[in-house]
Structures are given as structure tokens and as C-alpha cells.
Amino acid sequence: MAQRPTNWAGNLTFHVEHVHRPASLDELRELVTRSHRLRVLGTGHSFSAIADTTGNLVSLAGLPQSIAMDPDGTSVTVAGAVRYGELSEYLHRHGRALHNLGSLPHISVAGSCATATHGSGVGNGGLATAVTSMTVMSADGTVRTFHAGEDVFAGVVVGLGTVGVVLDLTLTTEPTYNVEQYVYEDLPRSELDDHFDAIMSAAYSVSLFTQWQDPLIRQVWVKHRPDRHGVWQGGETWHRARLADGPRHPLPGISPVSCTEQLGVAGPWQERLPHFRLDFTPSNGEEVQSEFFVPREHGLAAVQALHEVSSGFSHLVQATEIRTVAADTHWMSPYYQRDVVAVHFTWVKDQTRVLAALPLVEKTLAPYRAVPHWGKLTTMPADEVRAGFPRIGDFRELARTLDPQGMFRNDFVDRVVCTV
Ligand SMILES: Cc1cc2nc3c(=O)[nH]c(=O)nc-3n(C[C@H](O)[C@H](O)[C@H](O)COP(=O)(O)OP(=O)(O)OC[C@H]3O[C@@H](n4cnc5c(N)ncnc54)[C@H](O)[C@@H]3O)c2cc1C
């Protein structure tokens, strides 16, 4: 018997025998209208069961992968399955750019927006904040476009895969720009304690990496935009951290060949904002991930609290990345009306032990009103997750209106979001 499909990490085997791959809109409509339950799979980079279904799982990668600049040149309309890597190259060729990217360019635009995927930067919203309209196929096969400004728009974009099949999205763009990437090593703990906000705000995008050992912050990845902030003032020593003398990988012991260019060499935004290059395996490939978001004002305290108890989980950590995301207005976004600090864990690929360690992390973060990433592993009870999303009732109503039979729902959504 053929093996059932898995997600990218291989920690999840989907409940289906195979993934449907329609080659046209008509084929897709035929599949949608005859399905009892259906879920779209993007590039499968989520670690949680958010993309799983007991019905039909469908990839849109066989549909035309269209990317088109809109006539006024300030936005681009892209098919849902297109990956950020291809979109970014297209935009750069046309002299345009997005405001930010996640750590990897391998993920689909629709799948990333559905889970509120983010990069870093105190002024940068998640990737979904670039969306200005979205075209969706409903369970009855009809197609509808939602536009920014409509009441429900803030509900559909971070849609967790439950609002229908996202056929295409229009994203706002800006003129292309250069980024310089610097990696600093061994940031002293006292600098972090005294200057956390200044460090996180020092450049367009800043990421801290730790293994929860001394020195606490092993690497600081600084992505500097000279067109916005002039000459990078960091120098060889910055906040008593040393400029790395060669390229680095954020995980210890891994060749930096898969990482985007560093050492301050200016280059196009799409070749610096992600940590990992499109033509290589991102991160380690042998891992599972979790991530939690706390209000930015609690970010340092949350990191300090985790450090206190880190002996209970650090042996499972390949790297923790600490980033910032600016507030947005999407109902199911973890950054809904709050600037956050994101605390991410690249764990060893041992899900049983990771799931056993997660409650300690979650209990430690609970006083800081942490919520989890939709696409990553958590053991937080569903009612605690729900409590972190003030518009979840509106989202539930919207999902019921758009999809009265619950065709696009799955066990994950039923358990965490749509309990009744
Ligand atoms: C190595 C690695 C690094 C990562 N780095 C980051 C990071 O920097 N920042 C971050 O926030 N996350 C990060 N993630 C998580 C990742 O960005 C999210 O899980 C994202 O959702 C993956 O996109 P995808 O295309 O693989 O979506 P999938 O995992 O395939 O699907 C996610 C959800 O979107 C839905 N969906 C997908 N396409 C459609 C569509 N066309 N219509 C309707 N619903 C759809 C699915 O049903 C599912 O509910 C990382 C993951 C990995 C493996």
C-alpha cells in the first residue's frame, strides 16, 4: 500500500491516502462540490495538524502559478500556491518588494497568510498585513473576492484554512530595496537585560538566537535597511557583542552555505530578509518547532523567566529565536492589536519528548498572556488558546456564515476554534 503523505517535517502523517492536484479551476470546483470535507495543503511546512483532514486534501500547485503586477504597479496578484521565493524574485525583477519575509522563502503565500506567518522587526507586521484582497472558492464552488475595508476582511485573511479555497491574493508592494545582514556573537546577558528594546529596535529586522546556555544570546542577526536608516553604526563591537568573522548558521554545527549572505554585503531584500536560501533545505530539516507570542512589553521578562527554568527543556533545543512582530488587525492573528515578542523553538526531532517538555515552557509563559503559532506544536489547552484571541467569536460566526456545512473545518479547527 502506498505510504500516506506527510508534512515537510515528517512529524505528521495526514489522514488521507493521497493529495489531489487539480489542473484547472473546473477540476478544482468539481472536487470541492463533491467533497464532504476538504482542506487545502500549501507547501506543508506547518508542524501542527492545521492542514490535516479526514476528507480530501488538495494542493493547488497544479493550477496556473500566476503572478501579475497590477496596472498601477503598487500591488501584485499572486496564485495562492506560489511560494514567497518565486514571488520575491518576480517582484525584484519588476523593481518592487514586500515589506518582510519569514525565515524561509519555501512557503506558499496562501498557507503562510492563513497561519499569520511573520518575520521580524518592531515596525513590521506579519506577512498577512500586505494582503489587500483575496479571492476564495466556497463549498458550493462559487468564487468571491474579499477586499480590504470590508467588515469581514479582517476575519478572512488569517483564515486558518477554514474560509474556503484561497485562489489568489493581492499584496501591496513597495519599491525594491537593499538590506545588509550582520551577525554578532555572544551578546552579554547584562546588555540584553539593560537594552532589550534598543537591541530589538536597532535595525529593520533583528533576531536573537540562544541555546539557553551561557552566553545567553549566542547570535544576533541584524538586517539593516540603508535606505531607511543610513549607515549601520554597529561596527566590530556592538552592545559588547562581536561581529562574526565569517558567515554563520543559526543552528550550531551546521554549514552556513544554506544561509543568506551576511558580513554586511548589501543585496536585494529577498536575498537577505529570509535566513535561508530557496535552493537549500531551510533550518536543519531534522526538527520540530514551537513558537509563542507575548506582548512586547513583557518580552524581556518572558525570556528571563524561561531562562530560569531552561534546564527543564534546553537539552531538546537546537536553537531558540527571539523576534518582534508589529500589531495588526486580523482577528485570528496572534498580533491582533498588540506588538509582540515571538519566542520560537527549533526542537530536536523527538516529538514525544518535546510534547512532554512543552507544558513547562507554556506554564512559564502563561503569566505573560502567551499565545501559540497556529502552524507549530503546542500542548496549551484549547480554552487557554481561545482566551488569547478576543475576536474568536466573530471568526466562528464568519466561518459558519461562509461555510455553513463546515466543509473546510477539520479536527484541529473543531477542537481549538469552533467548539460548538
Ligand atoms: C523551517 C521552517 C521555518 C519556518 N519559519 C517561520 C517563520 O520564520 N515565521 C513563521 O511565522 N513561521 C515559520 N514557519 C512556519 C510556516 O511559515 C507556517 O507553518 C506556514 O503556514 C507554512 O506555509 P505552508 O504553505 O507550508 O502552509 P501549510 O502548512 O501547507 O498550511 C497551513 C494552513 O494554510 C491552509 N492553506 C494553505 N493553502 C491554502 C489555500 N490556498 N487556501 C486555503 N487554505 C490554505 C492549510 O489548510 C493550513 O490550514 C516555519 C516552518 C518551517 C518548516
131 torsion bin: left (phi>0), alpha (psi -120 to 50), beta (else)? beta
Q: 107 CB less than 6 Å from ligand 1?
A: yes
- Ligand 1 centroid, distance to 236 Cα (angstroms): 37
- Encode pLDDT of 193-232 as tens digits: 999 999 999 999 999 999 999 778 999 999 999 999 999 9
Q: 299 CB less than 6 Å from ligand 1?
A: no
Q: 283 CB less than 6 Å from ligand 1?
A: yes
Q: 102 CB less than 6 Å from ligand 1?
A: yes
In 217-347, which residue ranges form alpha helices assigned H by DSSP? 226-229, 299-308
- Encode pLDDT of 240-295 as tens digits: 999 999 999 999 889 999 999 999 999 999 999 999 999 888 888 899 999 999 99
Q: For residue 353, give every residue at least 6 positions away whose Cβ sits within 8 Å of its Cβ, in sequence order, or none.
A: 316
HEC string of 187-224 equals ECHHHHHHHHHHHHCCCCEEEEEECCCCCCEEEEEEEE
**Residues 298, 299, 304: CA angle, nearest 5 degrees:** 100
- As a whole-number percent, the residues of the chain with pLDDT over 70 amount to 99
- Ligand 1 centroid, distance to 22 Cα (angstroms): 20
- As a whole-number percent, the residues of the chain with pLDDT over 90 amount to 95
Nearest CA to ligand 1 atom 12: 117
- Ligand 1 centroid, distance to 261 Cα (angstroms): 24
**Residues 103, 316, 273: CA angle, nearest 5 degrees:** 10
- Ligand 1 centroid, distance to 68 Cα (angstroms): 22
What sign for the dihedral angle of Cα 369, 204, 378, 392? Answer: positive
Distance spanning both ends of the chain, measured CA to CA: 37
CA atoms within 13 A on the CB side of 279: 3
Percent of the chain that is helix, strand, coil (3-state, to 5): 30, 25, 45
The minimum-distance atom of ligand 1 relative to the CA of 374 is 19
C-alpha cell at 406: 463546515
Confidence of residue 331 (pLDDT cuts 50, 70, 90): very high
**Residues 183, 189, 190: CA angle, nearest 5 degrees:** 115
- Ligand 1 centroid, distance to 189 Cα (angstroms): 33
- Ligand 1 centroid, distance to 110 Cα (angstroms): 8
Q: 104 CB less than 6 Å from ligand 1?
A: yes
Tell me what pLDDT residue 30 has. 98
Tell me what pLDDT residue 391 has. 97
The minimum-distance atom of ligand 1 relative to the CA of 81 is 41
Q: What is the DSSP letter of 141?
A: S
The minimum-distance atom of ligand 1 relative to the CA of 109 is 25
Whether residue 417 is predicted with pLDDT greater than 70 in this model: the reply is: yes
Tell me what pLDDT residue 284 has. 82
- Ligand 1 centroid, distance to 40 Cα (angstroms): 11
Nearest CA to ligand 1 atom 11: 117
Tell me the C-alpha distance between 223 and 66, whole Å: 30
| φ, ψ of residue 413 in degrees (nearest 5) | -70, -40
Task: Report the SS3 class of residue 146.
Answer: strand
Q: 111 CB less than 6 Å from ligand 1?
A: yes
Tell me what the mean pLDDT of segment 378-400 comes to.
Answer: 96
Name the residue of 12, 37, 41 whose CB sits within 8 Å of the most ligand 1 atoms, as the mutation to test its pocket.
41
Tell me what pLDDT residue 336 has. 98
Tell me what the mean pLDDT of segment 127-146 comes to.
Answer: 98
The minimum-distance atom of ligand 1 relative to the CA of 274 is 8
Tell me what the mean pLDDT of segment 8-22 comes to.
Answer: 97
- Encode pLDDT of 21-66 as tens digits: 999 999 999 999 999 999 999 999 999 999 999 999 999 999 999 9
Q: Where are the domains of the chain?
A: 178-383
The minimum-distance atom of ligand 1 relative to the CA of 60 is 41
Whether residue 2 is predicted with pLDDT greater than 80 in this model: the reply is: no
Nearest CA to ligand 1 atom 32: 111
Strands 371-372, 288-295: pairing is antiparallel
Cis geometry, peptide bond prior to residue 404 (ω within 30 degrees of 0): no
Tell me what pLDDT residue 72 has. 87
Rounded (10°) CA dihedral 416, 45, 74, 60: -90
Tell me what pLDDT residue 73 has. 85
Q: 97 CB less than 6 Å from ligand 1?
A: no
Over the Cα atoms of the chain, what is R_g?
21
Q: 274 CB less than 6 Å from ligand 1?
A: no
Nearest CA to ligand 1 atom 51: 45
Tell me what the mean pLDDT of segment 91-110 comes to.
Answer: 97
Whether residue 345 is predicted with pLDDT greater than 90 in this model: the reply is: yes
Count, residues in the chain: 420
DSSP H/E element including 246: none
**Residues 18, 19, 22: CA angle, nearest 5 degrees:** 130
Tell me what pLDDT residue 279 has. 87
DSSP H/E element including 143: strand 143-147
Tell me what the mean pLDDT of segment 77-104 comes to.
Answer: 97
Tell me what the mean pLDDT of segment 80-96 comes to.
Answer: 97
- Encode pLDDT of 147-190 as tens digits: 999 999 999 999 999 999 999 999 999 999 999 999 999 999 99
Tell me what pLDDT residue 1 has. 63
Tell me what the mean pLDDT of segment 316-324 comes to.
Answer: 98
CB 250 within 8 A of CB 319: yes
Tell me the C-alpha distance between 261 and 255, whole Å: 13
Average pLDDT, the chain: 96
The minimum-distance atom of ligand 1 relative to the CA of 46 is 19
Q: 58 CB less than 6 Å from ligand 1?
A: no
The minimum-distance atom of ligand 1 relative to the CA of 408 is 47
Confidence of residue 420 (pLDDT cuts 50, 70, 90): low
Whether residue 320 is predicted with pLDDT greater than 90 in this model: the reply is: yes
Fold of 178-383: Alpha-Beta Plaits (3.30.70)
